[in-house]
């Protein structure tokens, strides 16, 4: 994966010299003993070929000969701006350089004291990034007035002016941006990929390997090591130690790009072929062993394919390429897995996503309705900005919207990914104030773009051992009011924590039937209604894998009698039976209040976390008031959740320490035989309960 910024060549002439063999010791010897004319010549060649790290070292030496030379200050300012990525440090060099510019600038002449007119353009770049917009426009105007008509930079003037105008109009939003301090280093750290639950992050970094002789593999243009993949797990509010993935090698660039929701399919990038290609792997343990590669030449070409995202079901890939036939430089394409397991021919996503400029780093939300990406076109504030587009009911993507400030800046902002709820995101930026030339930032959104509903579950084992990696379950999902009514899927839990996820739609009625593979009878069935108003909701269920019988079973609980309290130190249980259509309990209820106060006492005595698992049931006696018994059971569970969460919010002891989850919502009991007054028959199946763990 190449750098996201654009290295702008400043020469107005063509030199056929190919500086392909860089020897650091020879460069150091030249700086130490070389004459000024030779240093000028070598610096010019290095700059034209983009070897800015070494050009910067020579430019520093040239300033020792003549600190006031506009020519030498121009060279140092250019390399500082584009190699060190530091416009503030480059500013004084380029400010001095523009005091004397020459349209007939001779880069190879030691006697040349002036700078090229291009210095105005690069000074404008400094002012633009530092948000001194009027000064940036002034320098662009000077450059436009002075330059030859054939100057290559003239073609980007209008784009720069438009981006500056965009930045001037932008207002600072309320989103909170924070650097990921535990992840960032003085080296480039970028392309973060956050897990659905926000507890694991994968990212790319260019760090040296301890104990490895990397001299021959350093990038001669930047002196940086190749790219490698890392991951870190979150504990409480901090990221733990970063671990490099085993698929990495110290002599090649690899970058982790995408994961399916079960974390068993992944896409990564490597430059092993020389062009930069995408590889797909299947993994069952920490994403370390790629097994299957994209060999279809229609996806990987002789061009550059640097980034990709994978839909949550693993059946659609969006990727970027600069292949011929696109709309702009880099475009976003997509490919779909066919029924035979093969991938369709890649299709250009087209307008309005792709433009005549570069689009990169696509990321698809869990529900598949939001596509995030970066673009350096006419809607940017400068460099790459983060955008999003919504998928309409007609299957078309909406006009992209800039995610605004402070998410975007006048620098490069790229590689966005988000948790399942859309509220927490991570991205990369080379903005001022970071540790390295690229850093990772976290984002807490004040708004959500879509309402998201998720079926989330966990499969524990009967013995407490890790879940075997080959365990899966089949789900038949029926939605009575969805565009697609029936879906059959095989769900594989994540290997590291046995969690599984499936996408739902808000405000819909679902019936699910879960079956062990190879079995005909479901081990669990239920009907539930997803909420219409919540930004994010989970339908959470737990199951047990019997290690002896090797099948998944439902979780069972022991119900305590009404008005009794299991007063153990570690766990409590509560249950309330309801009359016909009744559905509410209050946190001020004596029994609930006693339990909550006992939980507060446990927290005060050192218990760190408690989860309140909620269960609810409705009998099969018809209800006209609520339409269906499923809705009544769901309402009973949700009312209890609302009461518990309301109490928790008012308690400084419980806030942040106690979670509430709906674990089971069922319609149960004997079939209705027009005897609704038979309380002993139906009341045992009309209840709401919670249990701590």
Lowest mean pLDDT, pick from 3-12, 42-51, 285-294, 640-649: 3-12
Percent of the chain topping pLDDT 90: 54
Lowest mean pLDDT, pick from 148-162, 248-262, 672-686: 672-686
pLDDT of 676 reads 77
pLDDT digits (tens, 9 = 90+) for 62-105: 999 999 999 999 999 999 999 989 999 999 999 999 999 999 99
Per CATH, the number for 24-169 is 1.25.40.10
| Per-residue CA distances from 644 to 15, 473, 638, 660, 666 (Å) | 73, 32, 10, 8, 20
How far apart CA 267 and CA 265 sit, in angstroms, is 7
pLDDT of 509 reads 87
pLDDT digits (tens, 9 = 90+) for 121-132: 999 999 999 999
Each domain of the chain, given as residue ranges in start order, spans 24-169, 176-444, 452-554, 573-692
Find out whether 564 and 592 touch, Cβ atoms under 8 Å: no
Mean pLDDT of the chain: 87
Q: What is the pTM of this model?
A: 0.79
613 or 297: whose pLDDT is higher? 613
Lowest mean pLDDT, pick from 191-195, 428-432, 553-557, 670-674: 553-557
Is 298 a residue whose pLDDT tops 80? no
pLDDT of 296 reads 60
Long-range interactions of 127-134: CB distance < 8 A, separation 24+ = 127/91, 128/160, 128/163, 128/164, 128/167, 128/382, 128/410, 129/87, 129/382, 129/410, 129/411, 129/432, 130/87, 130/88, 130/91, 130/410, 130/432, 131/167, 131/410, 133/164, 133/167, 133/168
Q: Which range has the top average pLDDT, 120-134, 254-268, 477-491?
A: 120-134
Lowest mean pLDDT, pick from 17-31, 471-485, 632-646: 17-31
342 or 38: whose pLDDT is higher? 38
For residues 421-450, average pLDDT: 91
Say which CATH superfamily domain 573-692 falls into.
OmpA-like domain (3.30.1330.60)
The architecture that CATH gives domain 176-444 is 6 Propeller (2.120)
Lowest mean pLDDT, pick from 174-188, 443-457, 464-478, 672-686: 672-686
pLDDT of 644 reads 92
Say which CATH superfamily domain 452-554 falls into.
Carboxypeptidase-like, regulatory domain (2.60.40.1120)
Report the b/e string of 432-452 with b at 16+ CB within 10 A. eebbbbbbbbbbebeeebbbb
Where residue 415 falls (left for φ over 0; alpha for ψ -120 to 50; beta otherwise) is: left
Per-residue pLDDT band at 401 (split at 50, 70, 90): very high
pLDDT digits (tens, 9 = 90+) for 628-675: 888 898 899 999 999 999 899 888 888 888 989 998 888 888 888 888
For residues 112-123, average pLDDT: 96
- Side by side, the strands of the sheet bearing 486-491 are 486-491, 473-479, 509-515, 524-529
pLDDT of 284 reads 58
pLDDT of 560 reads 42
pLDDT of 518 reads 92
Lowest mean pLDDT, pick from 316-325, 491-500, 590-599: 590-599
């Amino acid at each position: 994966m190449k750098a996201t910024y654009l290295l702008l060549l400043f020469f107005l002439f063509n030199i056929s010299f190919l500086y392909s063999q860089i020897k650091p010791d020879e460069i150091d010897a030249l700086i130490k003993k070389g004459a000024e004319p030779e240093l000028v010549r070598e610096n010019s060649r290095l700059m034209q070929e983009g070897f800015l790290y070494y050009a910067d070292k020579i430019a520093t030496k040239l300033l020792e000969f003549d600190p006031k030379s506009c020519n030498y200050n121009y060279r140092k300012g250019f390399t500082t701006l584009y190699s060190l990525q530091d416009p503030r440090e480059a500013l004084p060099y380029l400010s001095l350089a523009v005091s004397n510019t020459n349209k007939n600038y001779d880069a190879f002449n030691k006697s040349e004291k002036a700078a090229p007119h291009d210095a105005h353009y690069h000074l404008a770049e400094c002012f633009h990034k530092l948000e001194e917009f009027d000064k940036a426009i002034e320098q662009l105007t000077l450059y436009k007035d002075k330059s030859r008509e054939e100057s290559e930079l003239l073609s980007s003037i209008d784009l720069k002016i438009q981006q500056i105008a965009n930045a001037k109009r932008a207002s600072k939003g309320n989103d909170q941006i924070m650097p990921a301090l535990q992840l960032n280093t003085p080296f480039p750290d970028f392309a973060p990929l956050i897990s659905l639950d926000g507890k694991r992050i994968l990212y790319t970094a260019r760090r040296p390997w301890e104990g490895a002789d990397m001299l021959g593999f350093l990038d001669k243009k930047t002196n940086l090591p190749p790219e490698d993949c890392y991951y870190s797990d979150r504990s409480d509010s901090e990221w733990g130690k970063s671990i490099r993935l085993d698929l990495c090698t110290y002599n090649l660039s690899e970058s982790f790009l995408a994961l399916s929701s079960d974390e068993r399919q992944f896409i990564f990038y490597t430059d092993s072929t020389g062009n930069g290609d995408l590889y797909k792997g299947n993994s069952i343990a920490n994403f370390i062993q790629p097994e299957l590669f994209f060999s279809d030449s229609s996806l990987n070409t002789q061009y550059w394919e640097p980034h990709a995202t994978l839909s949550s079901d693993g059946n659609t890939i969006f990727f970027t390429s600069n292949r011929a036939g696109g709309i702009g430089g880099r475009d976003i394409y997509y490919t779909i897995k066919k029924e035979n397991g093969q991938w369709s021919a890649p299709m250009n996503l087209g307008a309005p996503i792709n433009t005549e400029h570069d689009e990169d780093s696509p990321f698809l939300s869990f529900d598949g309705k939001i596509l995030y990406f970066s673009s350096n076109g006419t809607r940017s504030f400068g460099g790459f900005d983060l955008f999003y587009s919504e998928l309409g009911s007609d299957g078309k993507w909406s006009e992209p919207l800039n995610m605004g400030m402070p998410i975007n800046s006048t620098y490069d902002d790229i590689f966005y990914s988000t948790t399942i709820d859309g509220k927490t995101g991570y991205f990369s930026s080379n903005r001022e104030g970071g540790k390295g030339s690229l850093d990772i930032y976290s984002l807490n959104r004040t708004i959500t773009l879509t309402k998201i509903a998720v079926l989330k579950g966990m499969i524990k084992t009967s013995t407490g051992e890790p879940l075997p990696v080959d365990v899966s379950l089949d789900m038949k999902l029926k939605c009575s009011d969805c565009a697609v009514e029936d879906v059959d899927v095989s769900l594989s839990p994540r290997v590291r924590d046995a969690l599984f996820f499936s996408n739902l739609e808000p405000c819909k009625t679902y019936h699910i039937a879960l079956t062990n593979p190879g079995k005909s009878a479901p081990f669990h069935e239920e009907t539930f209604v997803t909420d219409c108003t919540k930004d994010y909701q989970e339908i959470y269920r737990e199951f047990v894998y019997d290690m002896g019988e090797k099948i998944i079973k439902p979780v069972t609980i022991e119900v305590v009698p009404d008005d009794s309290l299991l007063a153990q130190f570690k766990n409590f249980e509560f249950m309330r039976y309801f009359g016909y259509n009744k559905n509410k309990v209050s946190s001020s209820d004596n029994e609930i209040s006693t339990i909550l106060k006992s939980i507060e006492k446990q927290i005060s005595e050192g218990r760190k976390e408690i989860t309140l698992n909620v269960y609810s049931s409705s009998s099969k006696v018809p209800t006209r008031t609520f339409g269906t018994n499923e809705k009544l059971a769901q309402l009973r569970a949700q009312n209890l959740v609302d009461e518990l969460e309301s109490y928790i919010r008012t308690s400084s002891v419980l806030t942040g320490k106690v979670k509430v989850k709906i674990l089971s919502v069922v319609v149960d009991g004997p079939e209705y035989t027009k005897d609704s007054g038979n309380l002993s028959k139906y009341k045992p199946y009309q209840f709401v309960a919670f249990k701590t763990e």
